[in-house]
């Protein structure tokens, strides 16, 4: 199964897992994520430009959890853990 074939319910569950992982790494002092770090956290063939992923990232940024930089070397900075 290709990542883009994942239905919306499975996508939401995957994003919950990613939030928990981001929070765990944040608690260990890991705040700067490369694009590859983020891709690796999905454990699937991910298109980072998938509209569902981009919508989640934009939402998380608007809520102050992350700051999107967009570079390969610093794709995002985690500002606070997810609840």
User: Hey, is 8 helix, strand or coil?
Assistant: helix
Mean pLDDT (whole number) for 50-75? 93
pLDDT at residue number 65 = 97
Q: What is the pLDDT of residues 20-41, one digit of tens each?
A: 989 999 999 999 999 888 888 8
The 8-class DSSP code of residue 77 comes to E
This model's pTM is above 0.95:
no
Dump the DSSP string for 9-76.
HHHHHHHHHHHHHHHHHHHTT--EE-HHHHHHHH-S---TT-HHHHHHHHHHHHTTSEEE---SS--E
């Amino acid at each position: 199964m290709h990542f883009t074939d994942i239905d919306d319910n499975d996508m939401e569950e995957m994003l919950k897992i990613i939030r928990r992982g981001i929070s765990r790494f944040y608690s260990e002092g890991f705040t700067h994520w490369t694009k590859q770090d983020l891709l690796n956290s999905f454990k699937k063939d991910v298109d980072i430009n998938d509209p569902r992923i981009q919508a989640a990232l934009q939402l998380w940024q608007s809520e102050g959890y992350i700051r999107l930089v967009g570079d390969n070397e610093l794709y995002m900075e985690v500002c606070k853990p997810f609840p």
